[in-house]
Structure 1
Amino acid sequence: MQPILIVQGGAGDITDSRVPGKLTGIKNSIRIGIKILENGGSALDAVEQAVRSMELDENFNTGYGACLNTDGVAEVEASIMEGKNLKAGCVTLLHDIMHPISVARKVMEKTNHTFIGGEQAMNFARSQNFEVLPQGSLVTENAKLALEEFKESQAKGLDTIFSPTELDKKSVGELGETVGAVAIDVNGNIAVATSTGGITGKIPGRIGDTPILGCGTYADNEIGGVSTTGHGETIMRYNLAQRILQGIALKGVSSQKATEDTIKEMTQRLIGTAGAITIDKKGDVGIYFSSKRMAWAYTQGNQLIYGINPGEILKEDL
């Protein structure tokens, strides 16, 4: 099996000024992950390391640079899953932890559980020797500004991101920009990793789609793997990742068609926008988003293929 890695840096209303940072970060991520696969490493290692690189980069909404809740706190969450034995680890409501994706992997490998949240997840991270940073270390000036703008819009009586209507149709689903990676290795094993800071202005304690299997993340060697990004409340209600895989398994369509059709159907029915990256068991990739933009990248031979605007396909040497 030819190893393949595809990464996404979040779907949303990404401004022109943020495009260069997104593209640089996404290309750095893909180069880190693909090197692992080309050296015979596992899909699980590749997706974890690809996501870790984005958790360090303030151009993405995860780890350093995560969106803030109404209290000004960066509550982060993540999930990771491998498709051979359907093992997974999920964490939520972590704070001051740089790499929630690695905490999720420890949950998968070191416990008999799948999902841990809140202070017990923090205690677990400490027990696994993860560094708990000084309070507020994940908070950036851009995240603070986004929260201020959100609160100003609320004060003016604009609708809330938690209740999609025609009034907020333009903005719903464009505040998350969750990151993720999907890989298949030389042994045909599939793995998926997804990590996020959620959405700006979320209520403290809010949990999104990212740590929920079948919504933000799913991997199955017999079908494929999916990582999603966008408006979490909508993605959860539509069970987006699982529906994309059902399109591949039950309808017999390609990864691209299953990804595109499912996201279009979700946005048409529920308004909220999203994006997803998919790899099926044969190694075919699928990329689609109904949001304004989504940063994505994958490799093909010695070329890096990437984009951020609808219909855009850019190429450069690895």
Structure 2
Amino acid sequence: MKNFKTLTLLIGFLLLFSCKNQSNSSEISDNLTDKSENPSQNFGIVIHGGAGTILKENMSDSLEMAYKMKLEEAIRVGHEILRQGGTAMEAVTKTINIMEDSPLFNAGKGAVFTHEGINELDASVMDGATLNAGAVAGVTRVKNPIDLALAVMNDSPHVMLSGKGAETFAQERGFELVDPTYFYTENRFQSLQRIKDKEKTELDHDGKTAFTDPFIKDSKFGTVGCVALDKNGNLAAGTSTGGMTNKRWNRIGDAPIIGAGTYANNATCAVSSTGWGEFFIRAMVAHDISALMEYKGLSLQEAAAEVIQKKVPALGGDGGIVSIDKHGNVAMEFNTAGMYRAHMNAAGELIIGIYKDE
């Protein structure tokens, strides 16, 4: 009898310990599941301020610091929006606003001049959740073109508006239109004069201006862009630019072209481009990166490298992209000497780079 009681107590103790251990294991498993499946554990933002022949030996310490400070200011605005649960689209547009308002970048306030001495601005946005998009091209009085692109997406039945029509739409939607002199910066104006002086000395056999690569290579970069992944797992992308110095005939580059300069799809990634727009349009760079992921199963980095390091150079173009995928992986790929860029992840870790070896 004594042995039986002892055995009963022992069995009871073992059952109690087993139940408690299973309960603890279940709690641990639930906690791990919550962390791995909860999208709010992961978000991120990436920006660029243009790519091109950006060499450290040509950059003063003070100018380099100014660029890095502005990149940090811009990306922290977007990151804070994401941290507080804001949407990827809000983070993208507010971040781009900071760069549009800075004379450092070829967008908004710092836009380059056309051959006629005016500033023509382009911008686009895309929502990865809905595949909705909006764009404007050739506007001359809109302070923040990225905001107008967002309005086209949200408040019109169209994807792209241009020129005076886009500005009429802006006015009807309550946008404040600025005097075109707002966009004047002396260094951009002098850049135009230098390129026009070069044109006078290099004429083709018909006596017409020779639009050779050197003119374009010195004048096409500076576009700004942003991509973001929010806590709800949604992606968004946006791009804004003043285009190419000395551009003529209302030329439009890749920045406002959905699939070339901007693309976002929750199934794959969000991309913003900067580079020689004619080639980025022909290669449909932003969409091509997404397509390689969706149809060929490439990673974001593999797809970005394939397009930027192989496809675009094979056509004769150059430039770069920033991108983020649905898991928060990032690619900042470029085939030029430099690209102004920055990235912040959910942990708040910040990476800023300008030159290729950074």
**Match for residue 263 of structure 2 among 218, 221, 232:** 218
The aligned counterpart of 2:137 is 92
Structure with bigger gyration radius: 2
Q: Which runs of 5+ in 2 are unaligned?
A: 1-38
Indicate the SS of the match to 1:308.
strand
Residue 142 (structure 1) aligned with residue 182 (structure 2) = no
Which deviates the most, 82-91 or 129-138? Answer: 129-138
Say what the alpha-carbon RMSD is for the aligned residues.
1.8
**Match for residue 84 of structure 2 among 39, 43, 52:** 39
AA aligned opposite 1:194: T
Structure-1-length-normalised TM-score: 0.92
CA distance in 1 between counterparts of 2:263 and 2:185 reads: 30
Q: Deviations over 1:184-227 (max 9, x none)?
A: 10111100010000010000411110110100000011111100
Question: Identity of counterpart residues, as a percentage?
Answer: 37
CA contact (8 A) 2:48 2:341 kept: yes
**Match for residue 287 of structure 1 among 312, 319, 332:** 332
Residue 9 (structure 1) aligned with residue 43 (structure 2) = no
The aligned counterpart of 1:262 is 307
Which deviates the most, 77-86 or 243-252? Answer: 243-252
AA aligned opposite 2:133: A
Structure-2-length-normalised TM-score: 0.82
Structure (1/2) with the larger helix percentage: 2
Residue 25 (structure 1) aligned with residue 59 (structure 2) = no
CA contact (8 A) 1:172 1:273 kept: no
Q: Deviations over 1:47-101 (max 9, x none)?
A: 0000000000010000001011001111001000101111111000100211000
CA distance in 1 between counterparts of 2:43 and 2:72 reads: 17
CA distance in 2 between counterparts of 1:16 and 1:171 reads: 21
CA contact (8 A) 2:141 2:167 kept: no
Paired residues for 1:105-124 under 5 Å? 105-124=150-169
CA contact (8 A) 1:13 1:175 kept: no
CA distance in 2 between counterparts of 1:231 and 1:25 reads: 24
CA distance in 2 between counterparts of 1:145 and 1:157 reads: 19
Q: Deviations over 1:139-177 (max 9, x none)?
A: 10011011011111111217989654xxx3x96376222
CA contact (8 A) 2:119 2:180 kept: no
Instruction: Indicate how the Cα distance of structure 1 residues 194 and 127 shifts in structure 2: closer, same or farther if over 3 A, else same.
Output: same
Structure (1/2) with the larger strand percentage: 1
Paired residues for 1:117-266 under 5 Å? 117-157=162-202, 164=213, 168=214, 172=217, 175-266=220-311
CA contact (8 A) 1:173 1:230 kept: no
CA distance in 2 between counterparts of 1:266 and 1:162 reads: 23
CA contact (8 A) 1:230 1:291 kept: no
- Could you tell me how far 1:21 is from its partner in structure 2? 2.5
CA contact (8 A) 1:74 1:138 kept: yes
Q: Deviations over 1:237-263 (max 9, x none)?
A: 111111111222223222122112211
Instruction: Indicate how the Cα distance of structure 1 residues 34 and 252 shifts in structure 2: closer, same or farther if over 3 A, else same.
Output: same
CA distance in 2 between counterparts of 1:127 and 1:161 reads: 42
Q: Which runs of 5+ in 1 are unaligned?
A: 313-318
